[in-house]
Structure 1
Amino acid sequence: MSATVSLLEELVGFDTTSSRSNLALVGRVADRFDGLGARIRLSHDDDRTKANILASFGPQVPGGIVLSGHTDVVPVADQAWSSDPFRLIERDGRLYGRGATDMKGFVAACLSAAGGLAASGLARPVHIALSYDEEVGCLGVPRLIDDLLAHEEKPALAIIGEPTGMRISDRHRGFLGFRVRFEGRAAHSSDPGAGASAIYPAADFIRFLRTIGHRTGVGVDGTTINVGRIEGGTAINIVPSACEVVWEFRPVTATDAAEVEALVRAYLMRAVPDDVRLSIARDIHVPPLSTQNEGAALAVATALGGIAPPFPMPFGTEAGFFQSAGIPAVVCGPGSIEQAHQPDEWIARAELDAADSFLARLIDWASRREA
């Protein structure tokens, strides 16, 4: 068994579903990094039940590289697994287990490469950055990046190891999630005028959202809108006093994001009746990743063995957060997104081998004195 597969087996054994703590896994990873002499920093959530871990190797100088991953996984509830999802099983060159491809496979490859990072005379720093709660809105990575920039020199680029089959992605849409609540006044349905329905303005709002969906382009090049949940009313014979609409949109650029949000807020301010109270909460904000100023990151990822040409990704990642912090970023990692979040999730052993080769070249790149 290779070192990376052995480490993946250990990582899969930790149930780090987003609803649970990841501290047991973080503690184990921190011990490994500490034994290799890395500079280690933890940044916790408000409840201190979860933590990001940042392990830095090499000199504290500008121009390093970040290897970014997340430690949490999606639930296995209501999925029909043919084996224990938290025990790695190999069949026909495939390694099965929750998080095997999304994205503990990449994390295992980084942990395996850490020994080489520690033993090499690095000319540039390499930071292994592992976040919490990526799967529920990328909640941990902003604190991780703040901690990185506060205590280490600014890196030159970041590689986010989400599953791309080792292809390079240089752009993806963002993800913004909102909760809009309408509060009217209950009344007996025999006299609707005595109340103020919260459902009617909510329904009008949903129709408005539909009119501004698919604003530009198609597929991953278009800004899309989706209403995911509606909840309101108590009984058929009561004018509903409350209705909540949970919706999201996926912008191609930060400009698209600002324009859609401004359109929505302007509509709500003018269209909602005076006798209905309104509240708007933005629960999720994952910025898009654009191609602007990513040439150097793309060149390095290609030189390390990432597969070009770059492609647009259909799903969001933490890359946009690094880009927003002024750190050019690309996405490139082992495994297929088609296996992610599925029962019997798996990653091919060959994909882990490719990640190991990629990281071996990265160690060589970070050890060279020339730019």
Structure 2
Amino acid sequence: MIVSPGMSTVEILRTLVAFDTTSHRSNLELIHWIADYLAAHRARVHLVHSEDARKANLLASIGPDTAGGMVLSGHSDVVPVTDQHWSANPFTLTERDGRFHGRGAADMKGFIAACLSAVPSWQRRTLSRPIHLAFSYDEEIGCLGVPRLVSRLQAQVAAPALAIIGEPTQMRIGVRHRGFFGHRALFSGLPAHSSDPSLGASAIEPAAYLVTCLAGLRRAFARQGSAATLNIGRIDGGTAINIVPGCCEVLWEFRPQDDAAVALVHDAVRQALADLPTGVTVQAVQVAGVPALSTRNNGAAVSVARELGALWPEADLPFGTEAGFFQQVGIPTVVCGPGSIAQAHQPDEWICATQLQAADRFMQSAGAWAAASLPVPTA
């Protein structure tokens, strides 16, 4: 693959948008294009595949193989365009009135494009510490790829000083957001004719008890003014009005702001499932888990992001990101990227040219930070 040595952020964004990386599809064509681009610019590139090898994360490093570097991270997948009315092909970048329209333009291929566009200028510098690019798969359906990516980062890269997750914040520093945990509880009972319910075991009744407990927790959070939220998203059970139901499924999620809220919900659910009626069993599994981002030990990341030009004051984000995964392994982490979350997932999704320009300046500052002389250790 021949890659132009001087591709602009807009040119790269146009290429990235053209890859349909909707989460139900493979992202390998996009990842291979990025890998070729980075290899052509002498980056050290590694792919981290999913179990079925249909998708891959990408981890790349520019600069010396030392500790104290910066991680710039984003996700490669996008949400579907199904049932949305677009005024143009969503997978062709279209410019109108200073805005670039296309699926993923804001969320978050604009950030990835700015990273890639800056690589040649980073390589022209003599970097004192590395810049690591970490691009994941399947963020939009539960952050499924990033645990593998972070695990490889820990195994392969000397401890970074910070991570910046480039979700669209209009270049403000995001320091906090709630987590997201999705759960599925499948109750199995014994179907019987309803003329004598004692011959069966209802799966719906214990499921209803769980739902009642969850609803009580939700009301308690609301009364207390807690940032934690809880939602019962789907209940499906039974076959007919005159049959004791043999199965019932409950899908629910909660969004905690801290570990205390997580523990409270988990304890309540354990109690709700601890004393099931005779003949009823339950399979309770977590189907998605995204840790919260807190302000714990992230001062270094905030300081560097401000030095690079990120906007202040800091923001509490209303949406979840992959940042908590990096923070969990001890990397100071913030969220900061171009574009607005209000445009994400929308028809005619767009990012302003001025936001891409701000991201370009941010990346040039990142290169200057990485090239700056390190303090001389004192005895």
Please classify the TM superposition score into its range, dividing by the shorter chain length.
over 0.9
Report Cα offsets for 1:158-186 as digits up to 9, x if no partner. 00000001111111011111100111111
Letter of the structure 1 residue corresponding to residue 123 of structure 2: A
For 1:219-298, list aligned pairs within 5 A: 222-270=227-275, 272-298=276-302
SS at match of 2:186: strand
- The answer to whether the aligner puts 1:101 opposite 2:101 as a matched pair is no
Structure 1: where are the runs of 5+ without partners?
none
Q: Is the 8 A contact 2:17 2:109 kept in 1?
A: yes
Deviation of 1:215 after TM superposition, in Å, equals 5.0
Which of 166, 180, 188 is matched with 2:185 structurally?
A: 180
Q: 1:129 to 1:314 in 2, by over 3 A?
A: same
Deviation of 1:259 after TM superposition, in Å, equals 2.7
SS at match of 1:269: coil
Deviation of 1:68 after TM superposition, in Å, equals 0.3
Deviation of 1:257 after TM superposition, in Å, equals 1.4
Report Cα offsets for 1:315-367 as digits up to 9, x if no partner. 11010000001101000001111111111111111111111111111110110
Take 2:314 and 2:223, find their aligned partners in 1: how far apart are those partners?
A: 18
Q: Is the 8 A contact 1:177 1:284 kept in 2?
A: yes
For 1:9-158, list aligned pairs within 5 A: 9-158=14-163
Take 1:159 and 1:75, find their aligned partners in 2: how far apart are those partners?
A: 26
- The answer to whether the aligner puts 1:353 opposite 2:318 as a matched pair is no
Take 2:301 and 2:225, find their aligned partners in 1: how far apart are those partners?
A: 21
Q: 1:282 to 1:27 in 2, by over 3 A?
A: same
Percent identical residues: 56
Deviation of 1:237 after TM superposition, in Å, equals 2.4
Take 1:140 and 1:218, find their aligned partners in 2: how far apart are those partners?
A: 36
TM-score when normalising by structure 2: 0.94
- The answer to whether the aligner puts 1:7 opposite 2:12 as a matched pair is yes
Report Cα offsets for 1:199-238 as digits up to 9, x if no partner. 1221121111011126557999611111111111122222
Deviation of 1:283 after TM superposition, in Å, equals 0.9
Q: Is the 8 A contact 2:21 2:76 kept in 1?
A: yes
- The answer to whether the aligner puts 1:206 opposite 2:211 as a matched pair is yes
Q: 1:39 to 1:291 in 2, by over 3 A?
A: same
Take 2:86 and 2:204, find their aligned partners in 1: how far apart are those partners?
A: 40
Letter of the structure 2 residue corresponding to residue 54 of structure 1: L
Structure 2 match to 1:299: 303
Q: 1:219 to 1:36 in 2, by over 3 A?
A: farther
SS at match of 1:282: strand
Q: Is the 8 A contact 1:22 1:132 kept in 2?
A: yes
Q: Is the 8 A contact 2:186 2:283 kept in 1?
A: yes
Structure 2 match to 1:367: 371
Which of 169, 174, 178 is matched with 1:169 structurally?
A: 174
Q: Is the 8 A contact 2:192 2:243 kept in 1?
A: yes
Aligned residues: 370
Which stretch has the larger CA shift, 211-220 or 115-124? 211-220
Report Cα offsets for 1:62-106 as digits up to 9, x if no partner. 100000000000111111111111111111111111111000010
Q: Is the 8 A contact 1:189 1:238 kept in 2?
A: yes
Structure 2: where are the runs of 5+ without partners?
1-5
SS at match of 2:292: coil
TM-score when normalising by structure 1: 0.96
Letter of the structure 2 residue corresponding to residue 276 of structure 1: V
Letter of the structure 2 residue corresponding to residue 273 of structure 1: P
Structure 1 match to 2:3: none
Letter of the structure 2 residue corresponding to residue 4 of structure 1: T
Letter of the structure 2 residue corresponding to residue 194 of structure 1: L
- The answer to whether the aligner puts 1:341 opposite 2:345 as a matched pair is yes
SS at match of 2:348: coil
Q: Is the 8 A contact 2:106 2:339 kept in 1?
A: yes
Structure 1 match to 2:326: 322
CA RMSD of aligned residues (A): 1.7
Letter of the structure 2 residue corresponding to residue 6 of structure 1: E
Q: 1:216 to 1:195 in 2, by over 3 A?
A: closer
SS at match of 2:218: coil
Letter of the structure 1 residue corresponding to residue 277 of structure 2: P
